[in-house]
Structures are given as structure tokens and as C-alpha cells.
Amino acid sequence: MEKATIEQFKKLFLEILSEEEVFEGKLSPTSLEGDEVDIVSTEKANQMDFRLQARNAIYMNKVRKSLQKIEEGTFGECEDCGAEITYNRLLARPTADLCIHCKEAEEKEENQLVNKNRASTKIGGRHLPIEHLEKGYQRDETSTSNFHVSHMDYQDIVS
């Protein structure tokens, strides 16, 4: 990656961090005074704040990590395969640490895990161990009638 491009991202990251510091300074202390309605809405607002702040903190860590990578000279390299992450991808997601191929592979893997968990919790409303699913008890997502077959199989397993 060209030095000027790296400088461009460095500037962006530093700007994000300095804006964050201003934002943190502006946060007002939690107010628990007022009537009950006020308290409830304040608590709700605080919960929202908390979630936003948590997400923000994760992002800020990524920004700091990216800055560190710039210092180390590894910014823009895929952490998995070492390939150069494309400029367009970095523009869309400056803190990306995987190239698009590795990211897609990772997401595919995550989706498969999610689907397995979903299938296992749906059957009879009980948790069926994944090993059983892999032995042929997995429900065909495209067929609803198959659910009953799987359910009966499950009854056979537990009885």
C-alpha cells in the first residue's frame, strides 16, 4: 500500500479518536432524580447509552488496533492469509483486518454454526445434541413435513 494512502487512513483514525475524546467529555452524569416516569425513561436512555457505548468502545479498540498496525507497518494486510486488503474494502471498512475472501469464509463458517444451533433447539423444543443431528437426524430446512419425522426420531432416541 502506498505511503500516502496509509497516511490518509492514519489521519482518519486519529480524527475518530479525537472526536471520541470530545464525546466522552460531554457525557452527563447519571441522574436518578425526578418522578418514577422520569426514572424509568432515564434508565431506558441509560441502557441505550450503555449499548451504544459498548459498541463504540469495541469500535474504538479496532481503531486503536489499526493505528498500531500502521505503526508496525502491517496495516492493510489480511490477518489470516497475509494478502493485501483492497483499497475499496478499507474505504468501506477502515478497520477491516481480513481480506474479503477470508472474511467471507469466516462468515460462512459462522452461518453454518448458527444454522446447526437453530436446528438443534427447534426439534421438539428440546435441545438435541449436535452429534445426533450429524448422524442423520438433521431436519431438512426446506421441508416442513420432515420436522415430524425428525421429532419421532428424537422420541425414539430419548425413550
Q: For binding to Zn ion (CB under 5 A), which residues are involved?
A: 78, 80-81, 83, 99, 102
For the bound state, the minimum distance from the C-beta of residue 85 to Zn ion, rounded and expressed in Å, comes to: 8
Q: Which is nearer to Zn ion, 95 or 120 (CB)?
A: 95
Q: How far is the CB of 81 from Zn ion (least distance, A)?
A: 3
Nearer to Zn ion among residue 98 and residue 123 (C-beta): 98
Q: For Zn ion, which is the closer residue by CB, 80 or 153?
A: 80
Per-position b or e across 69-98, b if 16+ CB within 10 A of its CB: bbeeeebbbbeeeeeebeeebbeeebbbbb
Q: Least distance from C-beta 88 to Zn ion, angstroms? A: 15
Angle between helix 36-72 and helix 3-26 axes, rounded to 10 deg: 160
Indicate the residue among 16 and 77 with the shorter CB distance to Zn ion: 77
Q: Could you tell me the three cell numbers for 83?
A: 494478502
Q: Least distance in Å: CB of 80 to Zn ion? A: 4
Q: Which three cell numbers stand for residue 111?
A: 452461518
